[in-house]
Amino acid sequence: MEKNFYLRYISILLSAIILFFSISFIIIEKEDFSENENRYLEAFPELTFDKLKEGVFTKELEDYFADHFPLRDQFMNLRTSFELFIGKTEINQVYIGEDGYLIEVYQEPTNNDKIIKQINRLVESVNDADVIFMLVPTAITIYEDKLPAYVSSGKQLETLNEIYGGLSCNTIDVTEALINQKNTYPLFYRLDHHWTTYGAYVAYQEFAYNQGFTPLGLDEFQIETVTDDFKGTIYSKVHDYSKNGDEIDLAFRGSQSLSVNYVDIKKRTDTLYNYDYLNKKDMYSIFLDNIHSLVEITNESIDTNDELIVIKDSYGNSMIPFLTNHYKKIYVIDPRYYKESVSELANKNLNIKNILILYNLNTIDTDLGIGGIY
């Protein structure tokens, strides 16, 4: 009799839980975008005969339910807490490193030959401007000492050397400079895949030495900490909500008079930073207002006519504030969205002295824009 009572009690409890989640799923408002994961959530799939026959509809429906399940974030955090408790050192392609670092696993590249071909094509198409390529190792290489025991940093430097070896342009390797400074400044965010303002500054120094001019000292900039609660892309992959956020520091020079033209949205401003992003999950987009096909930055207070083209991924956004001190005008290009010819832009403007291609090693292999940079 007592056994039947407990079985009935458990059945009622399970039925109540299932009913609760079913009703919750129906009545809760469905979000289009996850701020925490910085991605669009699955929309309810369209039902067609072909999708049903091929099993696509079922898969899309599963993804939809998974993205909109009630208390989804809380359950993912609970799962992460359990995985950390049992000693897992890798969660969702992210290593759990020392000193609070979450470090992305490096994926083996598949497009090195394509990258080499496209950059060499740009070099051949440009008449006078000097093409410079800077490929940046990420935290898995620079902070290898923070990886879990017995974990390899991967083969980023092998990839770098293979690509550099096939290029016919000027190349800059910032690996040694970053490693030498890794205990001086926080060069990469603990919870995001980007380098910090300090990491970008070290790379700016190497660019200056390569081009034969003296970089400005860090003490010549005003450094402002604008937040200490930045929880970026890697944090969103792991779902460990116990971690404290990172600081974001911005660099300023009071002597500059800048005009920043976001060509694609026809917006002009006098600053390289958009503080609105401090109220969003994607705080790193405070640098150069996130993604734009073309940004034209003019320094009205500099005594030179030299101009620069920067073809870049998002790492370039936090290095631009240092480069503006040495060029009258900088054209910042995101090749995923810029549909014009970079070589034509360079060849028709004799003031353009340099073309800097700046990517990190985690991004370049899958970047869709690298195939059309010439």
Answer yes or no: are the C-beta atoms of 251 and 87 closer than 8 Å: no
DSSP code at position 98? G
Burial class from Cβ neighbours inside 10 Å (0-12, 13-18, 19+) for residue 176 reads exposed
Residue 372 binned pLDDT confidence (cut-offs 50, 70, 90): confident
Joined tokens for residue 154: 């991967």
Give the neighbor-by-neighbor strand order of the sheet with 102-104.
Answer: 90-91, 94-96, 102-104
Q: pLDDT (tens digit, 9 = 90+) per residue, 130-154?
A: 999 999 999 999 999 999 988 888 7
Q: Which residues lie below 8 Å from residue 276, measured CB to CB, with a gap of 6+?
A: none
The C-alpha atoms of residue 197 and residue 314 are separated, in whole angstroms, by 12
Bigger pLDDT: 161 vs 49 = 161
Q: What pLDDT shows up at residue 236?
A: 86
- Please check whether residue 249 is in contact with residue 224, taking contact to mean a CB–CB distance below 8 angstroms: yes
Better pLDDT: 213 or 63: 213
| Cβ neighbourhood burial of 82 (10 Å; 0-12, 13-18, 19+) | exposed
Going by pLDDT thresholds of 50, 70 and 90, the confidence category of residue 91 is: confident
Nearest to 178 by CA among 169, 168, 170, 187: 187
pLDDT recorded at residue 300: 92
Contact predicate 356/308, CB 8 Å: yes
Is-contact 367 313, C-beta < 8 A? yes
Distance, in Å, from the CA atom of 244 to the CA atom of 157, rounded to the nearest integer, reads 31
Q: Which is more confidently placed, 251 or 69?
A: 251
**Which of 251-255, 297-301, 306-310, 322-326 is predicted with the least confidence, judged by mean pLDDT?**
251-255
Pick the residue with more confidence: 113 or 78?
A: 113
Q: Residue 13 has what pLDDT?
A: 52
